[in-house]
Structure 1
Amino acid sequence: MNTKSCLNCGHSISDEFCPHCGQKADTARITPYSLIKNDILGSIWHVEAKFFQTLKDIIIRPGKTAMDYISGKRIRYNNFISLLLILFGFNVLGLHFYEKFAPQEDVAEFSDLRAFFSKYSKTILFIIIPVLGINAYFLFKRLKLNIAEHFIIATVSLLGILIIFLLDDIVSLIGLWKPVSGIFNIIDKIIFGLFILFPAITYWNAFKNLYSKSGLLWRVSVLYVLMGIESFTIIIILYKIF
Structure 2
Amino acid sequence: MNPKICLNCGHKISGEFCSHCGQKADTARITPRSLIKTDVLGSIWHIEERFFRTLKHILFGPGRMAMDYISGKRIKYYNLFSLLLILFGFNVLTMHFYLDLNPDEIRKESSKIFEFFSRYSKTILFVIIPILGTNAYFIFKRMKLNIAEHFIIGTVSLLGILIIFLFNDMISLIGLWKPAAKIFGILEKASFVLFILLPAVTYWNAFKKSYSKPGLLWRVSLLYVLMGIESLGIIAILYRIL
1:87-166 → structure 2 map (5 Å cutoff):
87-102=87-102, 104-108=103-107, 110-166=110-166
| Partner Cα separation in structure 1 for residue 181 and residue 234 of structure 2 | 37
| Partner Cα separation in structure 2 for residue 77 and residue 108 of structure 1 | 42
Contact map agreement 1:2 1:14 (CA 8 A) in 2:
no
| Partner Cα separation in structure 1 for residue 148 and residue 187 of structure 2 | 35
Residue 20 of structure 2 aligns with which residue?
20
Aligned-pair distance for 1:28?
1.1
- Paired letter, 2:48: E
| Partner Cα separation in structure 2 for residue 165 and residue 63 of structure 1 | 19
- Paired letter, 2:20: H
Unaligned runs of 5+ in 1: none
Superposed CA RMSD in Å reads 1.2
Residue 53 of structure 2 aligns with which residue?
53
Moved more, 125-134 or 109-118: 109-118
Residue 85 of structure 1 aligns with which residue?
85
Cα distance change of structure 1 residues 20 and 178 upon mapping to structure 2, 3 Å threshold = farther
Give secondary structure in 1 for the equivalent of 2:180: coil
Residue 63 of structure 1 aligns with which residue?
63
Aligned-pair distance for 1:181?
4.7
| Partner deviation per Cα, 1:47-84 (whole Å, 9 max, x = no partner) | 11111111110011000010000000000111111111
Residue 32 of structure 1 aligns with which residue?
32
Runs of 4+ in 1 over 3 A off after TM superposition: none
Contact map agreement 2:70 2:149 (CA 8 A) in 1:
yes
- Paired letter, 2:104: E
- The TM-score, its normalising length taken from structure 2, stands at 0.96
| Partner Cα separation in structure 2 for residue 178 and residue 2 of structure 1 | 71
Contact map agreement 1:133 1:153 (CA 8 A) in 2:
yes
Aligned length in residues = 241
- The alignment-based identity, stated in percent, is 71
Moved more, 3-12 or 185-194: 3-12
Aligned-pair distance for 1:200?
0.3
- Paired letter, 2:188: D
Unaligned runs of 5+ in 2: none
Moved more, 6-15 or 131-140: 6-15
Contact map agreement 2:137 2:145 (CA 8 A) in 1:
yes
Residue 180 of structure 2 aligns with which residue?
180
Residue 218 of structure 1 aligns with which residue?
218
- Paired letter, 1:18: C
| Partner Cα separation in structure 2 for residue 140 and residue 128 of structure 1 | 17
| Partner Cα separation in structure 1 for residue 111 and residue 47 of structure 2 | 38
Moved more, 21-30 or 108-117: 108-117
Aligned-pair distance for 1:212?
0.2
- Paired letter, 1:106: E
Residue 239 of structure 1 aligns with which residue?
239
Give secondary structure in 2 for the equivalent of 1:20: coil
Give secondary structure in 2 for the equivalent of 1:182: helix
Aligned-pair distance for 1:112?
2.1
